[in-house]
Every structure is written in C-alpha cells, then in structure tokens.
Amino acid sequence: MSSISINKNLKDATSKLHSYGWRVKWIDGEQCLYKKLNPTFDVEVSGINNRKTRNYSVNVFVWEITPDIKIVDSYTELSSLDQVVSTLLEIEERYKQ
C-alpha cells in the first residue's frame, strides 16, 4: 500500500458520504471512494484524490460483481463534489435491492 495522503477533495467527499456507508479503498493503486451496494453491485469513485485540485474530474463506475465482474454503468468527468454526491445518491437509489 502506498503512503500517498488523502487530499482535500477526498476528505470532503468522505465527510459528506461517510454516514451513507462510503469509505476510502485502494483500487488499482489509487485511493478511491467505494461502497458495496448489495450482493450484486458495488461502486468505485476514481480520480477524486487527484493532486490537480483545480481540474476536478471524477469518474464513477458501477460494477456488477456476480455472476461475472463487469462495469454496468459509468459517469465520467464529474466536475464538482456536489455533482459527485448527487450522482452517488441517485446510483444508490437505482441499484438498491
């Protein structure tokens, strides 16, 4: 595991989303926001710990993890924390079981 610290964007997102069960997880060498929605789907938020805070560009991936592992939905280049939070809450509603 790397010793890269969490930047302000990831701290702010974690603060807003922690009560919804989101957590920081290392995925493919990057600190991402992550949540297992249910036994079938989980969500990865990539790019939020980017050091280039002036270029806020976040990607969200919904993974189907059973019976096969594949991306079933994606949202790219989200440009603000508010946009990320609202997208994640919409995803939770859509994929809840």
Residue 33 falls inside a structural domain: yes
Residue 3 falls inside a structural domain: no
Residue 65 falls inside a structural domain: yes
Buried b / exposed e along 2-25 (16+ C-beta atoms within 10 A):
eeeeeeebbeebbeebeeeebebe
* Per-residue pLDDT tens over the stretch 27-72: 998 999 999 999 999 999 999 887 665 667 899 999 999 999 999 9
Bigger pLDDT: 7 vs 71: 71
Residue 1 falls inside a structural domain: no
Give the per-residue pLDDT at 1: 46
How many structural domains is the chain composed of?
A: 1
For the chain, the helix, strand and coil percentages under 3-state DSSP, each to the nearest 5: 30, 35, 35
Please state the separation of Cα 83 from the chain's center in Å. Answer: 12
Domain range for 51 is 8-95
Residue 2 falls inside a structural domain: no
Average pLDDT over residues 70-78: 96
Residue 75 falls inside a structural domain: yes
Residue 20 falls inside a structural domain: yes
